[in-house]
Amino acid sequence: MTKVPKRRASEQIAETLRREIIAGRPVDRTPALLERFGVSRPTLREAFRVLENESLIAIVHGSRNGVRPLRPAPDSAARVTGQTLQAAGATVEQLYEAREAFEPFAAALLARRQDRRDIAALRAAHAQLAALVDDQAWLDLAGGLAQFHHTLVAQTGNQMLAVTAATIASLLETHQRNRNRSIEPVEPDAAAFEFRSRGVRSIARLNLLIEQGDASAAEAHWRAHLVNSAEFWLRDQDRHAIIDILGNAA
Q: Provide the pLDDT confidence category of residue 248 given band limits of 50, 70 and 90.
A: low
Grouping H, G, I as helix, E, B as strand and the rest as coil, residue 112 is helix
Least confident of 38-52, 178-192, 235-249: 178-192
What are the residues whose beta carbons fall under 8 Å from the beta carbon of 201, sequence distance 6 or more? none
Distance of CA 22 to the CA centre of its chain: 18
In angstroms, the Cα distances linking 176 to 59, 141, 170, 183, 223 are 31, 18, 10, 7, 23
Q: Provide the pLDDT confidence category of residue 72 given band limits of 50, 70 and 90.
A: low
Grouping H, G, I as helix, E, B as strand and the rest as coil, residue 22 is helix
**Mean pLDDT across the chain, nearest whole number?**
85
Least confident of 18-32, 55-69, 201-215: 55-69
Give the number of other Cβ atoms within 10 Å of residue 100's Cβ.
Answer: 16
What are the residues whose beta carbons fall under 8 Å from the beta carbon of 29, sequence distance 6 or more? 64, 65, 66
Q: Mean per-residue pLDDT for 35-60?
A: 90
Q: Mean per-residue pLDDT for 145-154?
A: 90
Residue type, 155: Q
Domains of the chain, start order: 9-69 (1.10.10.10), 75-234 (1.20.120.530)
Q: Is the pLDDT of residue 64 over 70?
A: no
Whole-angstrom Cα distance, residue 122 to residue 215?
A: 15
pLDDT, greater one: 201 or 25: 201
pLDDT in tens, 93-116: 998 999 998 899 999 999 999 999
pLDDT reported for residue 68: 86
Whole-angstrom Cα distance, residue 101 to residue 96?
A: 9
Q: Mean per-residue pLDDT for 44-57?
A: 88
- pTM above the 0.75 mark? no
Grouping H, G, I as helix, E, B as strand and the rest as coil, residue 235 is coil
Q: Provide the pLDDT confidence category of residue 4 given band limits of 50, 70 and 90.
A: very low
